[in-house]
Amino acid sequence: MKILIIILLLLPTSHLAAQVTISGTVKDEYQNPLTGANIYLKGTYSGVTSDTSGHFSFTTTRRDTVVMVVAFIGYETIEKTIIPDKKNITLEFSMAEVSNELQQVVISAGTFEAGDKKRAVMLSSLDIVTTANAEGDIYGALNMLPGAQTEGETGKIIVRGGESREMKTFMDGMLVSSPYTSRMPDIPARGRFSPFLFNGVLFSTGGYSAEYGQALSSVLELTSDGLAEESVTSISLLNVGAGLGHTHRFKNSSFTLETDYGNLTPYFAMTKHTLDWEKVPESISGQLRFRAKAGEEGMFKSFLSYSGSRSILNYNNYNTGNTERIALGDKNLYQSNTYSTMLGEKWLLKAGAAVNFTNEDYNINRNDKLEDNLKSAHIRLALQYYLNKDITFKSGIEDFYTENEKTYRNNYMTDVFKLKFADNLLAGFAEADIRLSSKAALRTGARMEYSGYTGKTNIAPRASLAYKISKGQQVSLAFGRFYQHAGNEFLLNSDSLAYENATHFIFNYQYAGSNRLFRIEAYLKEYDHLIKYGNQDNYIYSHLTNDGNGYARGVDIFWRDKQTFRQADYWVSYSYLDTKREYRDFQVKATPVFASKHNLSVVWKQWISKINSQVGATYKYRSGRPYYNPNNEDFLSDKTKPFNDISINVSYLTQLFGNFTIVYFSCENIFGFNNIFGYNYEAEPDASGIFRSHPIQPFAKRTFIAAIFISIK
Amino acid sequence: MKKMTLTLVLTVLTLSLFSQDYNRAMLDGIDSLNHIKKMEDFQQVANYFERIADAEPNEWLPGYYAAYCYIVLSFREQDAAKKATIVNKGENLVNKILKIKSEESEIYALQGMLYQAFITLDYQNNATEYSMKAEASFDKAIELNPENPRSYYLKGMNLMYTPEAYGGGMKAACPLITRANELFENFTKANDLMPDWGKDYNAQLLKKCGGE
């Protein structure tokens, strides 16, 4: 009885306890009121939502110490301990935006990040596939981004006045040593791997993280797909080949087997071209992909790819004045395994191992035989430590093994020469990502490398700083030192060459609005220790030194808009490039043949729901490129006429026998602009003492791709 | 002894008071949810349920309703950046309640709806992947409780707005909408707090099916 009384006495008292009113306002860092924030006392149901002026007010009967919580999506939650000992409590809160959210300050100088599905504005890997003039090639699509140009005759990407070898490609952190297919003279190469393999693409045109080394100009980091969603069989039929693939999804793993056969006969039949094929390129390739969840947070990925191709071309070599019969054989095997997992809450471990074997075999006139064998391996272990929400440390060690052998033989003599080198490059890096405030972020680190072959060591410091001016607007600065081995052809000739190096300075302004992005980036890149040589005879170079140098500077502008036009997406990019270098056999500083001063790209994509199709068009303009003219004493002072290209594509989505089907068609250079990449000159002058020239041109004015992709579930 | 009894009684009483509070609070919240008039109110109701969720870490329903509010909110948000933040919030909540109750049909049905929100973020890039994910969630929801009308309703709606080329369209959608309608008619909640939404909209979809 007594007890009951006590209880009954107790209960009303708590209800009758004096009420305390808690009120105030919630604002963001820029003093704008925040509507919809959740303000409450932790562990209780009492609380309220802030109104349109950011104001809130609620009452509580609690008299003891309580934790007040202010929470709002996209902002850091605030917790504040209060003692409701007065009748009225007034509080002001200023909320900071959550790190890594769209509006947060992020290091952005030099990089184009794509594929994060939660971000609406950047580029995605599908954007790459649907870019009209890319012909489904990753490198073809990068060509439409600021700072990048494709060297038309090789199909390779050059970034901000750097040679194509100054860009390195990584897949899930592992080096892809032979990212392009082998190629015939004056015929463009393609990327070895299909863009369909990746869901993330990070394209950096400078100032990149200390995680990456051995690249003077650019890094392309591809993130491969995770676990396949479901089992599916895919069939593709193209005018360049056919493919068959099957994916099987198990509970915690998936397995994909794909095989492709390529034959360019129908492609060349559809195209008016200038090539004299004895054997049109024919290729076979296969891929195995295995993905498995490892524990709660871990992922294991294994990738095996094999490709082989053969072709024979009768090539007009103006240098020798003869038509040469070139037989090319290309074999590549790439295998990589990666594993990543969280270790507890704070540590992220990433480990990987990859090997690559490439064999290229050129047989000229059934007589001279040039063989190039590349073996490489990459082992990597990296750790990330999340100290707190503002500071992350990253460090790792890696080893790159490279073995290259070039052999030249002919029918009359055995081994005319054989050159070979093997290098073990050991590297370590450490980097910190620090959020200085909600408006400023700093990334700083360094990388160290030691080459067993040359015995040389380098230390490369890197730093970037980003500052947010207002919502959506930010400026960034980046500085970095980059080292790269001399090209394999030089390493084969000498084991004492120093690293070539480049120093980047970048300033970037970016505006990211809802579905719109504008950025402008100015850069200066200073090259030093570039390779110079006296003479070249096949693979033999004389008087090799590191005395070369050069610079590249310019401005890149990018505008993308997915908002203004209904179901349309377009971007425009413009690059200005001023570059000169003295390297290789140059006697004076000159602009190299691959660099054009003005580059403009426009990409348009339109979804038309009525006909279930996406249509796209691209326009590319490049000002003239310098070329070497033996008739002109002024070195590399002649320029080709500007390059123009308009390409279109259509993807039609439909069903074939109840299976999801895409019908695809594209045409490159639909208006047939007469483009010239440069000139080949005859080795001997004619009777009047003039070296006769022959333009290097695309092998066809227009090229067509037609394809059908079918998915069977 | 007396002291002990007192403590015990008090504890029991406080507990029951709390649980009564919880039921009351949830019913109030569900009532406000059913009477929402303006879009902004979804944020308020979401906040309300989040407060309860924060105080009751072992209950999945407060988080469920909060997530539901955010998902509905995301469909109506026009600003792409805000929309992305809202969808992320919804995803966090769904993941959280899946840790509290892993085998609940209603949660998987809601997860499927969340994946539809991902599609609206970026149709071109997300449509294929997230349609498949949504499909898998709805199937799991049906597997866990074949009587849950929301699984069929949401799955049907997903198919209705999927192009025929991708295996969608009316033909594929309407049998599911019809099945959902039957289940809605006979649906009785396991308790007052369990989800009970979608019937009206499903009826509208059913009309579209009839019109075909």
Note whether A100 contacts B: Cβ–Cβ < 8 A.
Answer: no
CA pair distance A108, A106, nearest whole angstrom: 6
CA B208 → CA A612, B160, B165, distances in Å? Answer: 22, 10, 20
A154-166: string of b/e by CB count within 10 Å (b at 16+)? bbbbbbbbbbbbb
pLDDT over 80 (residue A157) = yes
- Rounded percentage of chain A residues whose pLDDT exceeds 70: 92
Q: What is the mean pLDDT of residues A265-281?
A: 86
| Residue from the list A42, A514, A660 with its beta carbon closest to the beta carbon of B166 | A660
Amino acid type, A621:
Y
pLDDT over 80 (residue A18) = no
What ipTM, to 2 d.p.? 0.85
Is A660 in Cβ contact with B40 (below 8 Å)? no
CA pair distance A518, A546, nearest whole angstrom: 40
Lowest mean pLDDT, pick from A176-190, A250-264, A301-315: A176-190
Q: How many Å lie between the alpha carbon of B184 and the closest alpha carbon of chain A?
A: 30
- Predicted pLDDT at A528: 97
User: Helix, strand, or coil here: A213?
Assistant: coil
| Residue from the list B21, B121, B165 with its beta carbon closest to the beta carbon of A655 | B165
Which stretch of DSSP H or E encloses residue A10? helix A2-16
Q: Which two structure tokens, joined as six digits, stand for A597?
A: 């001063």
Is A38 in Cβ contact with B51 (below 8 Å)? yes
CA pair distance A99, A441, nearest whole angstrom: 10
- Predicted pLDDT at B80: 77
Domain with CATH 1.25.40 in chain B: 1-102, 105-212
Q: Which DSSP letter does residue A165 get?
A: G
User: Which residues in A lie closer than 8 A to residue B121 (C-beta atoms)?
Assistant: 117-118, 120
pLDDT in tens, A687-704: 888 988 888 888 888 888
Sign, CA dihedral A486-A489-A490-A492, equals: positive
pLDDT in tens, A68-118: 999 998 888 999 988 887 788 899 999 987 755 444 556 565 666 543 333
Superfamily for the A111-712 domain:
TonB-dependent receptor, beta-barrel domain (2.40.170.20)
- Predicted pLDDT at A437: 82
Q: How many Å lie between the alpha carbon of A102 and the closest alpha carbon of chain B?
A: 7
Domain ranges of chain A: 2-95, 111-712
Q: Which two structure tokens, joined as six digits, stand for B112?
A: 């499927």
Amino acid type, A455:
G
Assess whether the region A2-95 and the region A111-712 belong to the same CATH fold. Answer: no
- Predicted pLDDT at A415: 62
| Residue from the list A38, A120, A612 with its beta carbon closest to the beta carbon of B84 | A120
User: Which residues in B lie closer than 8 A to residue A73 (C-beta atoms)?
Assistant: 70, 85-86, 88-89
The domain made up of A2-95 has a fold known as Immunoglobulin-like (2.60.40)
Note whether A568 contacts B: Cβ–Cβ < 8 A.
Answer: no
pLDDT band with cut points at 50, 70 and 90 for residue A55: very high
The domain made up of B1-102 has a fold known as 1.25.40
Q: What is the mean pLDDT of residues A398-414?
A: 87
Is A120 in Cβ contact with B167 (below 8 Å)? no
N- to C-terminal Cα separation, chain A? 72
User: Helix, strand, or coil here: B22?
Assistant: helix
Q: Which two structure tokens, joined as six digits, stand for A96?
A: 């900071």
8 Å CB contact between A182 and A155: no
Spans of chain B below 50 pLDDT: 9-18, 211-212
The residue in chain A having the minimum alpha-carbon distance to the alpha carbon of residue B132 is: A229
Helices (H) and strands (E) in chain A, counts: 5, 42
Q: How many Å lie between the alpha carbon of B183 and the closest alpha carbon of chain A?
A: 29
User: Which residues in B lie closer than 8 A to residue A130 (C-beta atoms)?
Assistant: 124
What ranges make up the beta strands (E) of A215-365? 218-224, 232-238, 241-249, 253-263, 276-294, 298-317, 322-343, 347-364
Note whether A14 contacts B: Cβ–Cβ < 8 A.
Answer: no
The domain made up of B105-212 has a fold known as 1.25.40
Residues 6+ positions from A452 with CB-CB distance below 8 Å: A423, A424, A425, A426
Q: How many Å lie between the alpha carbon of B179 and the closest alpha carbon of chain A?
A: 23
Q: How many Å lie between the alpha carbon of B187 and the closest alpha carbon of chain A?
A: 30
CA A9 → CA A16, A274, B1, distances in Å? Answer: 11, 102, 21
Mean pLDDT comparison of A152-161, A338-347, A522-531, A631-640, highest-scoring range: A522-531
Mean pLDDT of chain A: 87
User: Which residues in A lie closer than 8 A to residue B44 (C-beta atoms)?
Assistant: 36, 49
Q: How many Å lie between the alpha carbon of A112 and the closest alpha carbon of chain B?
A: 17
